[in-house]
């Protein structure tokens, strides 16, 4: 059991919804040493529950959301924003004041969640991402004022089991976190798809282009992480010989306004997060 998972050793953790995010987070928890018998999962259809049960035979699975809510200390709400109200309706009359509810849904605010779960419910809004599946997740977290210090630490432990987590103290910033890291993998995938496609069109075999693109992205990310005191711009300048090949490529990206395009993409994500909040609040 990892040190941070020690914090959860006497806790029960539940998931409402057995989709991609639930499967990756619960997989990470089990891999970090939390016993599958301490985890409860519900989903309306059988297929996803059966697949999880096949992998983790002692996992508790059910179609009854209320059964999960009734049994756990940490309740992860892992349904689409549009389904949150319907899912929470199944346990709306339960006293959840001792249960820490942790939503992973984009846009859904703590206010909407307390309207659905009761004013006394400790609520965390989280924003993980799909690299959680392989232990490289990045998760932003925000807690309402009912969440205790112990529940905060346990929540960090849940998401640290599948990568890194970081708290923000202003809930509005969760839409920005969603734009930067929740949706972020897709931005880098699009960039890598474009690099691979470009490499292929310029003559590289597909496998070679894919391996070089992936290893380069991994190396660049690791350099940013391992040089915390260096500006990313300095790392970029270190690659860029005056009048060289990198300068030629960067000039093209800048002439076509890459930084501006990225900013507009993040703004569009933040706007959509706020629209999802409206939908979930109806
Ligand atoms: N996919 C991603 O990259 C990320 C997704 N999220 C958030 O995670 C949440 C889930 O997304 P995914 O796992 O990708 O979706 P998904 O569609 O894979 O999983 C959702 C699951 O909820 C189940 N479900 C639907 N109605 C239900 C109900 N009433 N009660 C219980 N379960 C119900 C569905 O059958 C499905 O298995 C969304 O709110 C999304 O905003 C957050 C971060 C990243
Ligand atoms: O696209 C979405 O709405 C979800 C939230 C962040 C990643 N996927």
Paired tokens of 155: 């929540």
pLDDT: which is higher, 27 or 1 = 27
pLDDT confidence bin for 277, thresholds 50/70/90: confident
Same domain, 77 and 37: yes
Query: 224: number of CA atoms within 13 Å, CB side?
Result: 8
Q: Indicate if 165 and 41 belong to the same structural domain.
A: yes
Q: According to the annotation, is 80 in a ligand binding site?
A: yes
Atom of ligand 2 nearest to the CA of 272: 3
Asked if 87 and 105 sit in the same domain, the reply is: yes
* 30: confidence class by pLDDT, cuts 50, 70, 90: very high
pLDDT at residue 143, as a whole number = 98
pLDDT exceeds 90 at position 142: yes
Residue 102 alpha carbon to ligand 1 centre in Å: 13
Give the list of residues 6+ apart from residue 23 with CB closer than 8 angstroms, or none: 48, 52, 133
Report the alpha-carbon distance of residue 225 to residue 133 in Å, rounded.
Answer: 20
User: 124, 147, 169: which is the final residue of a domain?
Assistant: 169
Per-residue pLDDT, averaged over 145-169, amounts to 96
Using 50, 70 and 90 to split pLDDT, how confident is the model at 133?
Answer: confident
186 or 6: which carries more pLDDT confidence? Answer: 186
Q: Is the pLDDT of residue 168 over 90?
A: yes
Q: Whose CA is nearest to atom 5 of ligand 2?
A: 106
In which element (H, E) is residue 25 found? Answer: helix 20-31
CATH of the domain at 92: 3.40.50.720
Phi, psi for 40 (deg, rounded to 5) = -120, 140
Q: Is the pLDDT of residue 51 over 80?
A: yes
The range of the structural domain enclosing residue 11 comes to 1-169
**Would you place residue 67 in the very low, low, confident or very high pLDDT band (cuts 50, 70, 90)?**
very high
Distance 256 CA to ligand 1 centre (A): 36
Considering the domain architecture, whether residues 150 and 229 belong to the same structural domain is answered as no
Ligand at minimal distance from the CA of 19 is 1
Q: What value does the mean pLDDT of the chain take?
A: 95
User: What pTM was computed for the model?
Assistant: 0.93
| Structural domains of the chain, count | 2
With a 6 A CB cut-off, is 178 part of the ligand 2 pocket? Answer: yes
Q: Whose CA is nearest to atom 8 of ligand 2?
A: 183
78 is in an annotated binding site: yes
CATH number for the domain that contains residue 254: 1.10.3730.10
Q: How much is the average pLDDT of 53-73?
A: 97
Ligand 2: atom nearest CA of 105 is: 5
pLDDT tens digits for range 209-243: 999 999 999 999 999 999 999 999 999 999 999 99
């Amino acid at each position: 059991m990892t040190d941070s998972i020690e914090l959860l050793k006497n806790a029960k953790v539940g998931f409402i919804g057995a989709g991609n995010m639930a499967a990756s987070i619960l997989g990470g928890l089990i891999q970090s040493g939390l016993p599958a018998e301490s985890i409860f999962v519900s989903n309306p259809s059988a297929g996803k529950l059966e697949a999880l049960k096949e992998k983790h035979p002692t996992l508790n699975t059910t179609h009854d959301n209320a059964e999960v809510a009734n049994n756990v200390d940490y309740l992860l709400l892992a349904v689409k924003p549009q389904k949150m109200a319907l899912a929470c309706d199944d346990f709306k009359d339960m006293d959840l004041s001792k249960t820490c509810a942790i939503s992973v849904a984009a846009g859904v605010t703590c206010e909407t969640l307390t309207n659905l779960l009761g004013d006394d419910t400790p609520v965390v809004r989280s924003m993980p991402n799909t690299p959680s599946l392989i232990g490289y997740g990045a998760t932003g977290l925000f807690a309402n004022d009912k969440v205790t210090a112990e529940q905060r630490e346990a929540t960090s432990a849940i998401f640290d089991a599948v990568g890194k987590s970081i708290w923000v103290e202003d809930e509005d910033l969760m839409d920005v976190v969603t734009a930067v890291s929740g949706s972020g993998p897709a931005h880098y995938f699009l960039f890598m798809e474009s690099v691979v496609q470009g490499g292929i069109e310029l003559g590289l075999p597909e496998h070679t282009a894919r391996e070089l693109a992936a290893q380069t992205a991994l190396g660049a990310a690791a350099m940013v992480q391992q040089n915390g005191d260096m500006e990313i711009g300095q790392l970029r300048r270190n690659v860029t010989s005056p009048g060289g090949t990198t300068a030629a490529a960067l000039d093209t990206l800048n002439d076509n306004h890459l930084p501006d395009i990225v900013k507009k993409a993040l703004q569009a994500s933040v706007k959509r997060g706020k629209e999802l909040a409206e939908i979930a609040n109806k």
